[in-house]
Amino acid sequence: MKRFARLLDDLLFSPSRLTKLRLLKDYFATTPDPDRGYALAAIAGGLEFRFAKPATIRGLVESRVDPALFGWSYDFVGDLAETAALIWPVTPADDAASPHLSEIVDALGGATRAEVMAQLGVWLDRLDATGRWALIKLITGGLRVGVSARLAKTALAEMGNVDIAEVEEVWHGLRPPFPGLFAWLEGKGPVPAVDRAATFRPIMLSHALDEGELLSMDPAGFRAEWKWDGIRVQLVGRSGVRRIYSRTGDEISGAFPDILQALTFDAVLDGELLVRRGDDVGSFNDLQQRLNRKLVTDRMLAGYPAFVRLYDVLFEGDEDLRPLPFTARRERLERWFAGNVAGTALMARFDLSPVIAFADWPALREIRAHARTRGSEGVMLKRADSPYVAGRPKGLWFKWKRDAGTVDAVMMYAQRGHGKRSSYYSDFTFGCWRDTENGAELVPVGKAYFGFTDAELLQLDKWVRNHTVERFGPVRAVEPKLVCELAFEGVQRSTRHKSGLALRFPRIHRIRWDKPAGEADRVETLAAEIQE
């Protein structure tokens, strides 16, 4: 437990992906089975205990500590697990007595809640503060140390010097503590034999289109579809096993029970997960109501029902369709849809992403200009003969996004960045003008923290330092004098922002050193672009 707690602590404070990878690899390489396997499961998912509710933890602590002191401490620290871990009265224990992670996992596996609570006090007595923190996080179900399942798998792949796709192929067929997986990665055993039916298949990704490339591309050799503004998912229904994976292979079945129960078929499908609002497709903003939920209420299911717009098929039954050309797979998808979905109740959960007919590139460019009214981000181009290839192969799939919107906005606040940028003011809040009784005022419309070069960052940082009018902790208010042209993907209504709207993916397109702040855009100009 000590090593695992130290790992979580180190991960929590590591600003960079590379450091996290190094920490994970080091831990896996030097920690014996089965502890490392349980640690992997705790981090990457597959090991979750919900024995202890916050109130239970609090009650346990207050049985040992003066409740008044606990109350002030909790107010000061602000996090229950951390307060409990820090305030727990230290009882001297030698190292040998501190429980192993596997010991804890084993005990939790067969125990009732009452037994767990009795045992928890004993464990807490035998751990140091970081150990106690990790244990409470583990049993209350929320590690939150900034490591995705994908990152953990990347560490495994690097450790075994194999492609991450190979790890993905076996991952979902394995159970903690993964002894066969580690043996394979360390060269001490064969690739673990798993029932691969329900595993995630690494998905195929596209490149952003450089319009110059169109000259050398034959329009007849490509198929076009709308690029939808949801999240990419892989649906797996194989011999009774149902799973929904995100594009990175994280399982998100739990958040979408409405989709999961509709996976009554035997196939692996690729598509875009979206939500409905009334008769329309909801915006990305609406979809966010459904993302990353551990608990899905009936209200959410009714207010934001999810569906998947299908655009590819990877398996039908046991048949692997990935080697087939796109047009053949599309045909199979349409046939499958007609036979399994059309005319059934599943229509509420699935539809087909239409193929856009076009004669040549100028025609498609014209169609693409209307992407916004279709609730789409642009168009996708897929080579007609492209097999389904994992990763981002060159020359097969392209995304041709609609042109970004732009707005001239005035810098209002600046904040220091993180990691390598911690010495720079690199996160900026921008505002546009609106009229009030007392004249024009600036109201924030969005934050931008990329889009500039390193040299421009130096200039911006210097400008912020020389034009600061007020400081609030790490934030500086600056003179409203610098105009930047922001590019953005869309405008949404927002109740959080004073301006009533928020920009999607805003970034700095150009710094307008030349432009007087008074000539920056007005809030109404942006409001006209809100997509309902």
Partner 1 sequence: MVAINTAPKPSDWVRQTPQGLCVEPGGFFIDPVRRSARAVITHGHSDHARPGHGKVLATAETLAIMDHRLGGEAGRERRPLRYGEALDIDGVTLRLEPAGHVLGSAQVVLEWRGSRVVVSGDYKRRRDPTCAPFVPQECDVFITEATFGLPVFRHPPDAEEIARVLHARAIFPERCVLVGVYALGKCQRVIRLLREAGYEDPIYIHGALVAMCELYERLGVMLGELRNATGAGKDELRGEIVLAPPSAIDDRWTRRLPDPVMALASGWMRVKQRARQRGVELPLVISDHADWDELTRTIDEVGAREVWVTHGREEGLVHYATGRGIRARALDLVGYEDEDAE
Residues that bind partner 1 in the complex, under the rule CB under 8 A: 9, 12-15, 19, 22, 26, 65-66, 68-69, 72-73, 76-79, 82-83, 86-87, 90, 129, 133, 416, 418-420, 422-423, 461
Least Å distance, CB 17 to partner 1, is 13
Beta-sheet pairing, 241-246 with 231-238: antiparallel
Sequence-ordered list of residues with C-beta below 8 angstroms from that of 58, at least 6 positions apart, any chain:
70, 80, 84
Tokens 């053949």, residue?
328
Q: What is the 3-state secondary structure (H, E, C) of 263-296?
A: CCCCEEEEEEEEEEECCEECCHHHHHCCCCCCCC
CB of 415 to partner 1, least distance (A): 11
User: Measured from the CB of residue 482, what is the shortest distance to partner 1 in angstroms?
Assistant: 19
**CA distance linking residue 39 with residue 60, whole number of Å:** 25
Nearest to 173 by CA among 206, 207, 198: 198
Contacts of 393 (CB under 8 A, 6+ apart): 204, 386
Q: With respect to partner 1, which residue has the nearer C-beta, 130 or 246?
A: 130
DSSP letters along 374-392, please? GTEEEEEEEETT----SB-
Closest approach of Cβ 129 to partner 1, in Å? 7
Nearest-approach distance from CB 121 to partner 1, in angstroms: 17
- Closer to partner 1 by Cβ: residue 256 or 452: 452
Residue 53 or 420: the one with the smaller Cβ distance to partner 1 is 420
* Rounded least distance, CB 278 to partner 1, Å: 41
User: What is the nearest approach in angstroms of partner 1 to the Cβ of residue 126?
Assistant: 17
What is the enclosing helix (H) or strand (E) of 342?
none
Nearer to partner 1, 20 or 383 (CB): 20
Q: Supply 102's token pair.
A: 């596997």
**How far apart are alpha carbons 386 and 447 in whole angstroms?**
39
Nearer of residues 6 and 207 to partner 1, judged by Cβ: 6
In terms of CB distance, is 15 or 54 closer to partner 1?
15
- Cβ at position 21, least distance to partner 1 in Å: 13
Give the span between the Cα atoms of 185 and 159, in whole angstroms. 7
Which lies closer to partner 1 via its Cβ, residue 69 or residue 357? 69
Long-range residue pairs from 412-415, CB within 8 A, at least 24 positions apart, any chain: 412/442, 412/444, 412/477, 412/478, 412/480, 413/444, 413/475, 413/476, 413/477, 413/478, 414/460, 414/464, 414/475, 414/476, 414/478, 415/474, 415/475, 415/476
Hey, which bits of 424-505 come out as E strands?
Answer: 425-436, 439-448, 468-472, 475-478, 483-488, 490-493, 501-504
Q: Which is nearer to partner 1, 65 or 355 (CB)?
A: 65
Instruction: Name the one residue in this structure whose structure tokens are 């710094």.
Output: 511
CB of 146 to partner 1, least distance (A): 10
Closest approach of Cβ 37 to partner 1, in Å? 24
Cβ proximity to partner 1, 9 vs 166, nearer residue:
9
Which CB sits closer to partner 1, 78 or 190? 78
Distance of CA 440 to the CA centre of its chain: 39
> Min. distance of Cβ 8 from partner 1 in angstroms?
10
Closest to partner 1 by CB, 65 vs 346, is 65
Which has the closest alpha carbon to 331: 313, 319, 349? 313
SS3 19: helix
Taken in order 502, 505, 509, 513, the sign of the CA dihedral is: positive
Neighbours of 369 (CB within 10 A): 12
Helix 149-160 vs helix 164-171: angle between axes, to the nearest 10 degrees? 120
Residue 140's SS3 state is: helix
For the bound state, the minimum distance from the C-beta of residue 131 to partner 1, rounded and expressed in Å, comes to 12
Distance CA 239, CA 317 (A): 9
Q: Which residues, at least 6 apart from 23, have a Cβ–Cβ distance to it below 8 Å?
A: 7, 10, 11, 14
Q: Which is nearer to partner 1, 196 or 420 (CB)?
A: 420
- CA dist., res. 177 & res. 138, Å (int): 16
Shortest Å, Cβ 423 to partner 1 = 5
Q: What phi and psi, each to the nearest 5 degrees, are found at residue 27?
A: -65, -50
Please tell me the distance from the alpha carbon of residue 103 to that of residue 89, in angstroms, as a whole number.
23
Cβ distance to partner 1 smaller for residue 14 or 353: 14
Which of 81, 185 has the CB closer to partner 1? 81
Q: In the bound complex, what is the minimum distance in angstroms from residue 69's beta carbon to partner 1?
A: 5
